[in-house]
Amino acid sequence: MKYYIIAGEASGDLHGSNLMKALFEKDATAEIRFWGGNLMQEVGGTLVKHYKALAFMGFAEVVMNLKTILNNIKFCKKDIEQFKPDVIIFIDYPGFNMRIAKWAKQKGIKTHYYIAPQIWAWKENRIKAVKRDFDKLFVILPFEKDFFEIKHGYPVEFVGHPLIDAIHNRQKTNETQFRKDNHLDDKPVIALLPGSRKQEISKMLEVMLSVTDDFIDYQFVIAGAPSQEFEFYKQFLNTKNVKFISNKTYDLLSIAQAALVTSGTATLETALFKVPEVVCYKGSWVSYQIAKRIITLKYISLVNLIMDKEVVTELIQENFNKKRIKVELSKLFEPKNRQEIIRNYEVLEKKLGGIGASKKTADLIINDLQ
């Protein structure tokens, strides 16, 4: 079988790599061509374009880079026509993927969506396009099955969350060796996860680092994104108790006592490592003003959305400031608060459906093709 996979972000690269492993295991004849990143490239197949060339965030930023995005769409269609896949597997990244899916469906190519677009958050009217353009939809959040099936009458497969696989299958961290290799001292660690794109990292890190002098008994460690070079982070490393580690976020979370995390997939990863966290977000003024008028969710973090209650504190826009960070981060070290957060994390993990998401999805894709 010939599979064409499109992942446009770091999280999609992770989930795409695990799905590719499962496809290669189950289909000895598999040919895979993909848009993704280093993790997918390590598995095999042919990389068409790296997600670093695709990452634009926010409404204003997308408009500014519209010409590049349209050129990428045109190139993608041409590449698919030349490859002639049996199926296109779309991984998240809806702005791009839904455009390609509409075209592909008209061409008679099978379309499978793994990690559904978050139309439950905004643009719910996209359900018409989802129903029209996708043969199969594989969802990874428990409330998504009810949203699609009960609210909109569109059958989907709940396969569980692939992050559980990614964390379960990783090699365990030797804390002593990890600290030694990365020049960390014996102080407890506060992990900083500022995101993966330059725009958000710059906005988030400056504010996150404003509280370092208030927690001198801890060391702050920045989790460097695989999509960014060390040179970019240098400007943030002029504070005494701040360290930097690149592309080792899971190792870092496995030894962290607390974390400040930019809203996104990382909030869920942090929870699955049982690390108490404060969720942070600050966008451009224009992007935020548009977003708050069209997004009607009670929460922005996946942790709170899945649990349908405030398990972790969210500091958004003007509330993301030094004073609030200091207060909320301090609370994470109070024993009673820590215990309550971790209890909720354990319930959260059960709701996510256990291990095996990648294998379940690969089975469903192959069975549909056969």
pLDDT tens per residue, range 321-357: 999 999 999 999 999 999 999 999 999 999 998 889 9
3-class SS at 111?
strand
pLDDT band at 26 (very low <50, low <70, confident <90, very high): very high
Q: Tokens 């970019």 appear where?
A: 232
Q: Tokens 């609210």 appear where?
A: 151
3-class SS at 221?
strand
Flag whether pLDDT at 18 surpasses 70: yes
Give the list of residues 6+ apart from residue 353 with CB closer than 8 angstroms, or none: 142, 158, 159, 160, 161, 164
Q: Tokens 């848009």 appear where?
A: 35
**Which of 308, 304, 199, 195 has its CA nearest to residue 260?**
195
pLDDT band at 308 (very low <50, low <70, confident <90, very high): very high
**Which of 161, 299, 122 has its CA nearest to residue 95?**
122
Tens digit of each residue's pLDDT (9 = 90 or more) over 176-208: 999 999 999 999 999 999 998 888 898 899 999
Q: What average pLDDT does range 32-48 have in this prediction?
A: 96
CA distance 247 to 354: 25
Tens digit of each residue's pLDDT (9 = 90 or more) over 52-89: 877 555 555 555 667 777 889 999 999 999 999 999 99
Burial bucket for residue 253 (CB in 10 Å: 0-12, 13-18, 19+): buried
Is residue 277 within 8 A of residue 260, CB to CB? The reply is: yes
CA distance 6 to 90: 5
Flag whether pLDDT at 283 surpasses 80: no
336 phi, psi to nearest 5 deg: -65, -45
Is residue 137 within 8 A of residue 157, CB to CB? The reply is: yes
pLDDT band at 112 (very low <50, low <70, confident <90, very high): very high
Is residue 205 within 8 A of residue 320, CB to CB? The reply is: no
Backbone φ/ψ region at 237: left (φ over 0), alpha (ψ -120 to 50), beta: alpha
Domains of the chain as residue ranges with CATH: 2-161+354-369 (3.40.50.2000), 168-351 (3.40.50.2000)
Is residue 26 within 8 A of residue 366, CB to CB? The reply is: yes
CA distance 109 to 174: 46
CB atoms within 10 A of CB 236: 18
Q: In what order do the strands lie in the sheet with 87-91?
A: 46-50, 31-36, 2-7, 87-91, 110-114, 136-139, 157-158
Instruction: Name the β-bridge partners of 50.
Output: 36
Q: How far is CA 100 from the centre of its chain?
A: 21
Q: Which amino acid is at 344?
A: N
**Which of 239, 264, 263, 267 has its CA nearest to residue 253?**
267
pTM of the model: 0.81
Q: How far is CA 54 from the centre of its chain?
A: 15
